[in-house]
Amino acid sequence: MQAAMSWDFNVPISVDDLVKAGGVDQYVVQDVLTPKELPSHLNRFKVALRSQGPLSILEHFDTAYSVLQHWRTLEAPVKEETLELLIQVVRGLSVSLPPMLDSGALSAEDRKLQLNAIKMSVFMLCKFAETLESDSYRQSIVTAPSKGRKKTKGGEGLMQWESEREVVMQCLSQLLQLNIRSLWSLSLVEEEFVSCVTCCCYKLLENPTISHVKSKPTRDLIIHVLGVMVKKYNHMLGARVKVIQLLQHFEQLAGVCAQAVATWSSEFGVKAIVGEIMREIGQKSSEELSREGSGVKAFSSFLSELSTLVPEVMIPNISVILTHLEGESPSLRVAVCEILGEVLVRILSGDRLEDSARADRDRFLDTLQEHLHDTHSNVRTHVLQVYTRIVNSKALPLCRYTEVMELAVGRLADKSVNVCKSAIQLLAAFIAHNPYSCKLSSADLKKPLEKETAKLKELNDKMAEKAPVAVISAAELWSAMEPELLQTVVAHLEPSSEEEEAREEGEGEKEDDGEKEKSDRGMAIHIAQLLRDNKYRQAVRACLQAHHRFPESKYFSALSTVDAQTVMAALGGLFKGSEEDELQDAQAETEPPTEGTQGDGAEKGKEGAEEGELKKQEMLVQYLRDTESFALQVERAIAIINNMLYWKTTTVVQEAVQFCVTVYEFSVANSLSGVRKMLPLVWSTDTAIKDAVVQAYRRLYLNPQGDTTRAKAQTLVDSLSELMMDASLGTIQCLEEIVQEFFGSESALQVCVVQVLWERFSGKRESTALNRRAAVLLLGMAARAEREVVLSNLDTLCSVALGESVTEDYLLARDTVITICNITDQIRMSKGVPFRLPQDHQLFTCLTQAIADGMVLTDPHWQTFMEQAVRLIYFVAESPDQLCGRLLQRSARLLLEQAAESRPASQSDDASIVRSQEEEDGHAHSLVSSQDSEDQGEQVSCVSLAQLLALCGCVAFWQVSYLERSVSAELRRRRAEREEKEEKEKGPSSKSKEASDSCVEEELGLTGASAEDTEAELIRKICETELLAEENLLCVFLPLLVRVCSSPGRYSHPQLTATACLALSKYMMISPAACKDHIRLLFTILEKSPLPVVRSNTIVALGDLTVRFPNILEPWTPNLYAKLSDENSSVRLTAITVLTQLVLKDVMKVKGQVSEVAVLLLDPEPHIASLALNFFNELASKDNAIYNLLPDIISRLSDPERGMTEEDFHTIMKQLFSYITKERQTESLVEKLCQRFRTAKTERQWADLAVSLSLLSMCERGFKRLQECWECYSDKLTEAGVYQPLLSIITKLRRGAKLQFKTQVDEFEKKLTAVHTKGLENVENDELEAQSELSQSQLSKTPAPPRSTRKARGRVKSAIPEEGDLVTPKQRPGRRPKKVIVFSSDEEEEDAVMEDSETPKVTTPISRASRRTRLRH
């Protein structure tokens, strides 16, 4: 042991240094054992450890060192055993050292002994840990763990290193926490020892799994050990450098490093390290950061994470990183903004901030506001998220609410989807935490604001009247007049001329006459008044005279010696003293001496109360103004976000849906509009959007709050009724999709809801007409799930809504009919025996009575009721055609009776009513004649006639639908039943025989085809031959319809015209013959009707006819497109809607007339423009559709006769060319557009073509094609309108181009510029001259080739051929004549004119050849 004390163990930099000879008394490893010798020496180490304790490391250090040297060749048990021995040594030291260190009685020898043991054991344990960690990482990379098998956690064979890692760090932590520094001389721990421990810790931190949850104990121990080293062993500088290095090389360690630094700062009190690291990051320049790569992201994540842990420590050093807000790194800007947000939320919030803290808060908020407009979208997104957290934490000052709200609304128009999402989240937070009002409505706030503002004005006026006049003190006046008065005194005391003295004496005598009677006090007051009147000379003279008269007076005693100073002193005393005297006298005269104090106090109290009231009123007005401004911003945001509900980005739509829910829950004005607008999204093909909408409606409407089931049902019904008030049919259908699941459940709440609805509808509970309508519609939704809800209560529905009081509320009757329709097979999609009611059922009696009674009334809602009633009759009645036939007869008779009542009594016999069906023709003719005989007093109400025609058209339409759907379905059902019955009756032998026949039919595709074709042919024949036959009732009204439609001058009533037009179109749906007969009349109405509603209705009708009879309507397509330019916006809206449906569903061919749709992109009505944009968005999804149409569209829009402005043309083309994304399409369009230069006639057309070329995303192939077509446009380059767009193409091509391609672009640019400046002819002449000069110079310089039998291989040939060279050249094939290019858009389209001779006759089916082919034939 004595020998051991003669040396010191110095921690080496490298492990291999221990075998080298060191300095004097330095420990050196004497013998490195072989692998075979190690087991026996390890056993000796064990024995020594038991007997000698941890000091045994002094003798057996070489054994552990040898294991480290032979690491690669040793087995795992040897390594494990050595590691366990080292752990026991360190633990032993941790136990044995505290008593020694506390006693302080260690000798130098013992101190040296313990110190060497600590160094040796810690050094060896750290090196073992580093080596094991390297092996573990290497093994995890080389060998991936297979599924279901245990993962190797250490080096080869060392299975428990994952758990041993924690043990090692725990041992080191226990030892280093002791006061072992006292063992070193002067407590100066050598740097090598500190580096040995810290390098081991940092090595373990580099493990990729160290940030996982399962590694938390080990991670915390490592951070704790490093904290001890930083605090006790002066490792702060090294820690700062190492943290920066870890962040630069290991991006995943950002969170771990932030946790470590926060722990060192809070638990170990080393707060300076936070500032040091922040300063290190803040001092990095943009150039250094650009070279960091992933290190920049790590820095950003580290700062953000650190701000969430210790924001209060970062505040003193926050200025050093604010410089990165102006840097180029977006991630660092995000980190700084997040730091500012954390500081604002957790430190600089509340109302009790000091002035300096409040200034910092405002500065930080200003910085965040600036970066709401950052150039990088990610920064804008995170700043909005920071603001959302600030608002949710209620840390945003009230004065900034409106300003930040306005900025957030502006971000809704951001191009970045993530920014829009974050803006929506911020706005929702604003509304959820708004400090103003639970109901935000600018309209409701307007009147209170005006009232309180007027009150504030009255208070201000009142206070202004009572406000005292500003009084300037005598001392201030004296200071102002003193310089000028001093000059006057000096001038007066100087000797003057005799004339001036005589004049002054004369003036003095005049004044003396009045002053002799005054006392000394009166003189003093008089002098002071002269001074106030700026009569300085008279005041000085009066002062001197008063001194002569009253030399003993206290007012003038200062003038014992007359000089300028004494005179000024006397005048000053008189001026300042007289004012005080006057004030005292005035108070003595006006106020009683006994009550003065009380009156003054009461007056001051009253004034204080008024001032307090004024301040309260000002605060109230300011609050109302802020609330109104906030409400206006919320309403603006709602309008924008409602439109975002139909964006294509799923996440944005989800956020918009959530926002609508939030604003509705907080009862914000206009919030119901968003809730209704998102309702159609239940039909979305995107499951996420559909689920979001369904969940939103369940949250808002289907989860009511209440103490009892009855209360919940009342709440649910009230909320759903509010949503359905004034709702459209489409809205009701969407809501039905959502609530259908609720009504299908058999819960107690559902039963109670149905009961409440029946009570509300039947009138047992008082409710408005709107609530009754909503209740009956909700009952219809319940009937979709359970038919008996309505079927068992049909009598209630008939008696309440369709009874005697039906004429009072046709809207309730209509909604009741819609509800009853929900029990029909057509709505429920039921199969099997159809559900029908007999003709004598009470329902049909009520319906026919209600329709007939309303025929002669003028109720505006009768027609909608009638349409639903006829629909219900055809859905649910047995033989509905007979019911409707009797209904038509009854209605016609009622109308004739009305006409008869207006006739003279002598003519009443002519209007006798015959009940037979054969005389119904006479009824119709009587209706016409009653219109023709107005001069004889015969009249039929135009409204009544219109309603009769509407009934005719409705019956005709549903009769066709009944035949094609219900009758056809019933025929198929009966045929299937018959076939099934026949199969059962047939024996097995016949079945096997027919099986072979059926197989043949299946192979030929004839199974069931013949029967279905027969049925379809039967239905078609009935429609074409029977429905409009002379003996059919529908035929009777057709002449009347045609007459009303074809005589708009005579039948000019708007409702009659519109109804007749719609009824005629429904008649035309019956058969192709009816359509052909009246199609020209319908287009005449479309062209010439002055009523927009008639034109709109006609467009809709023609769209339906196009679907039913496409071949008949195909020649009339240009007339439909023409309505896109109608002067009325509603007609244009209808036209674009109908044409969009026809084109996108492939019913109508897309032609060049689609340019009319392109014009609507600039329509002044935003809704029309959005529909046009949607048309092209959908059309772009079809293969090459827009690409094929673009040349024709350009030709039509650039036609001089259209007169479109250049700006409008550029806007339209920019949108259309955005759909061209393929290189081949671009290349082809370049050639097509260049060829159009040849046929273009005007400069404007040239410019439009050039602009179109510049809008293409030009590629290298497109540029090559542009060069090849040089001849097409080179002669137009002198025009600036052609040259500038082509030059812009060159600019785009030059960006990012390769060197070789860039050279070609530059040459082409020079060529363009030369032709533009000089003209094509001059440039060509210059080129020819240059070529001739070049050839001449080559001829003069190149010697003649010698004669030889070999052919010359040079490129330049002699201008004069030699005799041997005279060979007859081979005849070159002649140039092919250039093809004449003809474009379909150049052909003139035929316009439909309303003459028989010019009516389109081409009826080729759409699916066949193109129109050009047809015209060619």
What whole-number percentage of the chain has pLDDT above 90? 17
Segment 1237-1251 shows an average pLDDT of: 87
Q: What is the DSSP string of 860-911?
A: TTHHHHHHHHHHHHHHHBSSHHHHHHHHHHHHHHHHHHHHHHTS-GGGGGGG
Segment 130-153 shows an average pLDDT of: 65
DSSP state of 1346: P
Average pLDDT of the chain is 79
Segment 43-57 shows an average pLDDT of: 87
Q: Quick one: three-class SS letters along 526-548?
A: HHHHHHHCCCHHHHHHHHHHHHH
User: What does the chain come to in residues?
Assistant: 1417
pLDDT digits (tens, 9 = 90+) for 967-1023: 888 888 888 888 888 888 776 655 555 555 555 445 544 455 566 777 778 888 888
Could you tell me the CA-to-CA distances from 1358 to 387, 641, 778, 1079, 1330 in Å, in that order? Answer: 84, 80, 101, 79, 19
Residue burial 1383-1408, b: 16+ Cβ < 10 Å; e: rest: eebeeeeeebeeeeeeebeeeeeeee
Instruction: Identify which has the larger pLDDT, 60 or 152.
Output: 60
Note the pLDDT of residue 444: 67
Predicted confidence band at 425 (pLDDT cuts at 50, 70, 90)?
Answer: very high
Spatial CA neighbour of 114 closest among 58, 64, 62: 58
Predicted confidence band at 191 (pLDDT cuts at 50, 70, 90)?
Answer: confident
Highest mean pLDDT among 208-217, 310-319, 431-440: 310-319
- Contacts (Cβ under 8 Å, ≥6 apart) of 935: none
pLDDT digits (tens, 9 = 90+) for 263-289: 999 998 888 999 899 988 888 887 788
Could you tell me the CA-to-CA distances from 32 to 68, 381, 853 in Å, in that order? Answer: 10, 63, 119
Note the pLDDT of residue 184: 83
- Contacts (Cβ under 8 Å, ≥6 apart) of 422: 380, 381, 382, 384, 385, 388, 411
Predicted confidence band at 1334 (pLDDT cuts at 50, 70, 90)?
Answer: very low
3-state secondary structure of 928: helix
3-state secondary structure of 8: strand
Q: Quick one: three-class SS letters along 426-475?
A: HHHHHHHCCCCCCCCCHHHHHHHHHHHHHHHHHHHHHHHHHCCCCCCCHH
Segment 693-706 shows an average pLDDT of: 86
Note the pLDDT of residue 223: 92
Note the pLDDT of residue 684: 87
d(CA 1115, CA 853): 44
pLDDT digits (tens, 9 = 90+) for 54-91: 888 888 888 888 888 888 888 888 888 888 889 898 88
Segment 253-267 shows an average pLDDT of: 91
Whether the per-residue pLDDT at 654 is higher than 90: the answer is yes
Note the pLDDT of residue 1129: 92
Note the pLDDT of residue 1060: 93
Residue burial 479-508, b: 16+ Cβ < 10 Å; e: rest: eebeeebbebbeebeeeeeeeeeeeeeeeb
Residue burial 1336-1353, b: 16+ Cβ < 10 Å; e: rest: eeeeeeeeeeeeeeeeee
The answer to whether residues 190 and 180 touch, using CB atoms and an 8 Å cutoff, is no
Instruction: Identify which has the larger pLDDT, 630 or 419.
Output: 419
The answer to whether residues 1381 and 1235 touch, using CB atoms and an 8 Å cutoff, is yes
Residue 1134 phi, psi dihedral angles, 5° rounding: -65, -40
pLDDT digits (tens, 9 = 90+) for 576-623: 775 555 445 444 444 444 444 455 556 656 666 777 777 787 888 887
pLDDT digits (tens, 9 = 90+) for 804-840: 888 888 999 999 999 998 888 766 666 777 888 898 8
Which of 105-109, 839-843, 989-993 comes out lowest in average pLDDT?
Answer: 989-993
Whether the per-residue pLDDT at 387 is higher than 90: the answer is yes
pLDDT digits (tens, 9 = 90+) for 221-232: 999 999 999 988
3-state secondary structure of 1406: coil
Question: Long-range CB contacts (< 8 A, 24+ apart) of 1008-1015?
Answer: 1011/975, 1012/972, 1015/968, 1015/971, 1015/972, 1015/975
d(CA 235, CA 193): 11
3-state secondary structure of 728: coil
Segment 1293-1308 shows an average pLDDT of: 80
Residue burial 239-268, b: 16+ Cβ < 10 Å; e: rest: bbebbbebbeebbebbbbbbbbbbbbbeeb
Q: Tokens for 771? A: 């609530």
Whether the per-residue pLDDT at 931 is higher than 90: the answer is no
Note the pLDDT of residue 1365: 36
Whether the per-residue pLDDT at 1393 is higher than 50: the answer is no
The answer to whether residues 1190 and 1229 touch, using CB atoms and an 8 Å cutoff, is yes
The answer to whether residues 1392 and 1400 touch, using CB atoms and an 8 Å cutoff, is yes
Instruction: Identify which has the larger pLDDT, 949 or 468.
Output: 949
Note the pLDDT of residue 201: 92
What whole-number percentage of the chain has pLDDT above 70? 80
Predicted confidence band at 728 (pLDDT cuts at 50, 70, 90)?
Answer: confident
Spatial CA neighbour of 1197 closest among 1160, 1228, 1229: 1160
Highest mean pLDDT among 591-595, 614-618, 1072-1076, 1364-1368: 1072-1076
3-state secondary structure of 603: helix
Q: Tokens for 263? A: 């722990």
Tell me which amino acid residue 796 is.
Answer: T
d(CA 959, CA 824): 17
Predicted confidence band at 102 (pLDDT cuts at 50, 70, 90)?
Answer: confident
Note the pLDDT of residue 6: 67
DSSP state of 561: S
Q: Tokens for 197? A: 């421990």
Note the pLDDT of residue 465: 65
What's the pTM value of the predicted model, to 2 decimals? Answer: 0.68
Sign of CA dihedral 280, 285, 288, 294: positive
Whether the per-residue pLDDT at 1102 is higher than 90: the answer is yes
Whether the per-residue pLDDT at 1337 is higher than 60: the answer is no
Which of 138-147, 343-352, 1151-1160 comes out lowest in average pLDDT?
Answer: 138-147
